[in-house]
Structure 1
């Protein structure tokens, strides 16, 4: 199966505890605990596949029992796993989050195996399977910020990515600064929330349109900035900043919402949608996801 987009980054097991009760530090409440495939690259790939694209994963997955289960789950969904780096000595990564009625309470991402694998996950881009330095991958790449800062810096100047349409997402506000080397990449589109945008722009913007303008002023070619249920924005160096408001919905989950937004925007553009239509389609998809209308 030939992929039409590469998803590079974290593919792991999400362990999510959700409660319909508002929570605070020390809360002990009833709820549901689920385990499902996750990680930024994986969440994007699953949504892309749901909308009809064929994504390939470039990631690190262990050969432990959890890794075998994860590969099998990817294969069942129609994701291309032929290029995944499989490690004999690194365990499969995991992410754990607690969500209450008042949103995300806390989360821990254990992506140490992905970080330890380093540039081994990029081998298919240089050994001829997906490209070479002389003939780099010419299509879409969704890249997530769970990679190490050193590897992201290498990617920013690597000839392996010179012909790609790069779509970049931080893994979390805590890892947003890792994307600084990619901020001014000429073919990169950054997908960030307001907090992440302010970290990258070194600004204190209070709205998504302001944050998008600040990122463009810092040298970004193109950005999309979300802000929960408030107005979102898309900004480009040549076209200025446009806005879009997400539909009001009852929020039942938050983990994976930004990844769904990014994937839906990529699909809309791949189908030929104009700027405003693509932004609106992504906001609708994210709203459907957080309301529980789109399955995990």
Structure 2
């Protein structure tokens, strides 16, 4: 697989994930039933990281679409550049090829990559590489795919309902060109991972058509295991002092979550545990250090924002 290089604390490069047996079974059930896997859980609990990990571990193409309040269901299937077409119509003679103004979305590429390259046969095969595959596979490498639809609860409630038919039948029609898109015979059914933070209730009809799994709250043992995976990937020696730090921070995070019983703030997550670990290692701060309370408040025990 071609290396995918990404920088920043939330790389989504698929290299590291602590895959629990229950979550592995949920993936297997989703694949066996050909249903989307709907993941819920606290922000920062690892929902969005599962899809790239599964793709990289199984040499699959990987696509993601981050949902916003302005996302429409069609955006995951295709978009049509009507503004550019109008401009070209005013300056060119002759009939325009509408295929030149169609941009396949993540589900089109996942279900029918050959059709996506040629816009359903309207264009010559000029897109030899898949532009939306984040891992940049060569076209002959794989016929399977993973699609991440991230934070679907941010969208209007009509969006999940509008996805029911294309997700269920794995086919749709491009309105502007009449192109019928369906899963190609030699393409394996994709694993579609959909995440929700629970900010908005999803339609019951949509929930019935998903395999649902809620990521559990972190335990000290799992936090330490995740820390070891990250440190090992970074080439950091796991000496006694580092191991003690991972354990102490795990205990601190669990206490911070337990002390948030009032529900006024969001409980700290796995992502914030890793932030605290990286900060302590970089700055040479350990629990008991004079600056530790401030580091703790900056990473693990964040106070709710005040109005004003």
Q: Structures share a fold, TM > 0.5?
A: no
- Structure showing the higher strand proportion among its residues: 1
- Structure showing the higher helix proportion among its residues: 2
> Highest CA radius of gyration, 1 or 2?
2
TM-score under structure 2 length normalisation: 0.27
Structure ranking higher on relative contact order (CA contacts 8 Å, 6+ apart): 2
